[in-house]
Amino acid sequence: MSERAEVSFRKYILDDFQIEAVNHLLAGNSVLVSAPTGVGKTLIADYLIEDAIKHGRRVAYTAPIKALSNQKYKEFKELYGEEKVGIITGDVVINPEAEVTIMTTEIFRNMLQQDQERLADLSHVVFDEIHYLSDEDRGTVWEESIIFMPENLRLLGLSATIPNARELADWIAEIKGHSVQVVIKKDRAVPLEHFVYHPLTGATNLNHLEQEWRKRRQKDGGVSQRGFTRRREQGISHLSLVNYIAKRRGLPCLYFVFSRQQCELKADELSQSADFLTRSEKKRTEEILERMIRLYNLENWQTIHRLKWIFMKGIAFHHAGLLPALKEIIETLFGENLIRVMYATETFAVGINYPVRSVCFDAPTKWDGVSFRPMSTLEYFQMAGRAGRRGIDKRGSVYILADLERYQRHEFPSTNPDHIESLVSQFNLSYNSVVNLFKNYSRNEISLILDQNFATFQARNHKIVLETRLNRLNKEMNTIREVICKDWGNLSCPKARDAAFRQLRKKERRLKYIRGRRAKESISKEIGELKEALGSLAQRDCCQEEQVRCEKRVKKFEELYKERISLEERVSSMKVAGRFEEDLEAKVAILEELDYLKSGELLPRGEFASQIYAQELLITEFYFAGLFHEWDEDQINAVIVAVDYEPRKGERIPKVLPYDLKPIKKIIRDLIYRHGVDERQVLFFPSLSPLAYRWSQGCDFLELLEDSGLQEGDIVSAFRRGIDLLRQIRTACAKEDQYLAGKIKNCLDKMDRDLVQVNL
């Protein structure tokens, strides 16, 4: 296939970057594609998959979140037929040996550690949203997936944003031993226009906004302290911005708000004054709602009837706290262009392919779970990239709502895609990683593997850069040293003599006022020594210009010297090879104390923990304490939803739990205070336990919601995470403990039903 030839695929004429990527893949290379949202990078994966099916090969398609995996499964099922597509997510396992198997990246990593044979006939793995490698919480999963994937396997990495794609490719090529090609497309199919918006200025740029801010400060006589209430008084609200966009035909609009509650409040507030749908569109909306309400048996669910009138106006909201069925209804309406304004948290930006004409941000800052912080440029472009529909819009518009009362220019992200932050390794060792390393490799092999991560590669590259700079610095210092006057710094130098004379005059003035005999003798002696030194050396004959040049050289030399000292300290303190050995040894010591490891060999506890991928120590200790055998099925389900659960603000532990908390607390205390396990490794919060207990006993989901006070989506998400953990426990004990494996199967059947069940 010639690069210049016109190539069509599914009625699309492939762009040059798509053809280039496909050619590299067909030639047997791995490929990283960095291309903006909306230019068709997923078409490369589709081409690869279709070619694999045609030639009897298998492909794994990994996605960062289950929702995206589910979406891809439905999409590929329609394209290739149900028999050719499978999915494995921890939630569901359907047709796992299919030609195209969609899975979360975690599942792919787990299979590499536990069941590599099932991946033996794969030709390619697709890593969608590969920039997640830089994610603080989950990046290790991507690195381990690449490190442990078989040598014959080739990867296709897709992302809208990989500024250091070449560095990432070089790392993969180094550890996998094959060519990794980089394909970069910078131009968007639909260009973006970036604005900040304030009612006083309309849509403008930061420079104009800053001028207005300075005028306001002068008018107010300094920094205003009028507080957040002024925002509403000045008309600084989403309503003003949405109205502005609507008048300029900027709908549909995706409006990002980093708060679930605010998403819902803003949608409700807009619905009080706006209606974006025609009569025929309302009819279509109603038909879709009625069909999907029947499909999911939501007729008795009050929430859907409360929201129906908002949807009928072309307005909706989307966040992780929504019931999955409601999310699907909203996404269906959005996909049918029946939602004109969607308020959403940033989870909507991950992979879900719904472009709009305008994207809005309610503020330049976001809540990260600890505090408000400025959006990174990467985060901004991940969300802003949804603006502009290919083939429909000439350009996409992005707006940030600005508040002059709280204006800080540094909080606004850069609108230059060249400023997107580079991917940085977040590699760290979990206890599961450690036990699996000892399960599958020798101690020497483990040391080699620990040096194969991206963090070590980046550290080595960084050290080389610093050493190169240090070498240049030394050469530059040597060059300057050769031209610096040999008399610089002694009293022959005019500059030094001037300074000495100034010091002499200062001492002589002090002498006049000193009354103490000893002090007077001391300063008189200093004056005499200084005069003698000045008299013993003749002043060098230097013109003023030469003195200035000499001073500049010395100043430059001193600056370089300071930089050299700093660089030498950084280089000497940088650890490249073996940088994770200390962490490994610390975790091994704890695992040996806990009887998971002995002399590098896995003990029964270690074997069990190797198959648990979240809170592995906690669950293993529950098992070996016999708690899963003591608890009945409903109690197990009540406990499992509390494992690895991070409560939202205001959640409390119920006074009455359906199980005894004492043995659990003792295990947690021992792990933390006796063995030194980090608190993050033993997360347990039982706020949802009573709900899970009732659900396990057969309670209806809508009845469950009546007095929970929690959001439906959070409950479903916790139940589904519990189901995932139950599957892992069942697998871990299947060979040695058939009784418990059967008991866990019953637990799964009780949890995985009705609205909690994934519908594919």
With bands split at pLDDT 50, 70 and 90, how would you rate the model's confidence at 670?
very high
Q: What architecture is the 192-419 domain classified under in CATH?
A: 3-Layer(aba) Sandwich (3.40)
User: Which pLDDT tens digit goes with each residue over 94-127?
Assistant: 998 899 999 999 999 999 988 877 888 899 999 9
- pTM (predicted TM-score): 0.85
Residue type, 325: A
Q: Whose CA is closest to 724, among 645, 626, 652?
A: 645
Tokens 């207005």, residue located: 212
Is the confidence at residue 365, as pLDDT, over 70? yes
Q: Does residue 576 or residue 34 have the better pLDDT?
A: 34
Task: Report d(CA 657, CA 161) in Å as an integer.
Answer: 46
Q: Is 213 a residue whose pLDDT tops 90?
A: no
Q: Does 8-184 match 611-756 in CATH topology?
A: no
HEC profile of 563-591? HHHHHHHHHHHCCCCCCCHHHHHHHHHHH
Pairing assessment for the beta strands 372-374 and 365-367 based on DSSP bridges: antiparallel
Q: How far apart are CA 241 and CA 401, in angstroms?
A: 7
Q: Which helix or strand (DSSP H or E) is residue 188 part of?
A: none
Answer whether residue 536 shows pLDDT above 90.
no
**Mean pLDDT, the chain, integer:** 89
How much is the average pLDDT of 598-608?
Answer: 96
pLDDT confidence band for 312 (50 / 70 / 90): very high
* CB 59 within 8 Å of CB 173: no
Query: Among 182-196, 486-500, 664-678, which stretch is predicted with the lowest mean pLDDT?
Result: 486-500
The single-letter DSSP state of residue 671 is I
Q: What is the pLDDT of residue 352?
A: 61
126 DSSP β-pair partners: 61, 156
Amino acid (one-letter) located at 403: D
Let me know the angle formed at the C-alpha of 755 by 350 and 383, rounded to the nearest 5 degrees.
10
Handedness of CA 6, 9, 15, 17 (dihedral sign): negative
Specify the residue for token string 């933390």: 672
pLDDT confidence band for 349 (50 / 70 / 90): low
Q: Quick one: average pLDDT of 374-392?
A: 89
pLDDT for the residue numbered 299: 85
The pLDDT value given to residue 710: 82
pLDDT band at residue 330, thresholds of 50, 70 and 90? very high
Distance (Å, whole) CA 721 – CA 688: 12
Domain ranges of the chain: 8-184, 192-419, 480-573, 611-756
pLDDT above 70: percentage of residues in the chain: 96
Res 221: pLDDT: 59
- Distance CA(579)–CA(459), nearest Å, equals 9
Q: Which residue has the higher pLDDT, 404 or 603?
A: 603
370 vs 187, residue with greater confidence: 187
Of 214-218, 364-368, 415-419, least confident by mean pLDDT is 214-218
The predicted-structure confidence for 223-276, as pLDDT tens digits, reads as follows 444 443 444 444 578 999 999 999 999 999 999 998 888 999 999 999 999 999
* pLDDT tens column, 133-189: 998 888 999 999 999 999 899 999 999 889 999 999 999 999 999 999 999 998 888
Can you list the alpha helix ranges (DSSP code H) found in 340-412?
A: 377-384
User: At residue 81, does pLDDT exceed 80?
Assistant: yes
Give the mean model confidence (pLDDT) for residues 441-465. 91
pLDDT at 66 over 90: no
Nearest to 238, CA basis, from 399, 64, 47, 386? 399
Average pLDDT over residues 357-372: 86
pLDDT at residue 749 is higher than 50: yes
- Please name which of 622, 644, 626 lies closest in space to residue 720, comparing C-alpha atoms: 644
24, with CB counted inside 10 A (0-12, 13-18, 19+), is buried
How many of the other CB atoms lie within 10 Å of CB of 357? 23
> Does the structure show a pLDDT above 80 at 317?
yes
Query: 672-722 pLDDT, tens per residue?
Result: 999 999 998 999 999 999 999 999 999 988 888 876 778 888 899 999 999
Say if residue 477's pLDDT is above 70: yes
Chosen CATH of 8-184 out of 3.30.930.10, 3.40.1010.10, 3.40.605.10, 3.40.50.300: 3.40.50.300
- pLDDT tens-digit series, residues 542-584: 877 877 888 888 888 888 888 888 888 888 777 777 789 999 9
Confidence band, pLDDT 50/70/90 cuts, at residue 321: confident
| Candidates 3.40.50.2000, 3.40.50.720, 3.40.430.10, 1.10.3380.30; CATH matching 611-756 | 1.10.3380.30
Per-residue confidence at 504, pLDDT binned at 50, 70, 90? confident
Q: Of 44-48, 421-425, 493-497, 662-666, which range is least confident? A: 493-497
Is the pLDDT at 597 greater than 50, yes or no?
A: yes
| φ, ψ at 259 (rounded to 5°) | -155, 125
The residue-averaged pLDDT of 734-753 equals 95
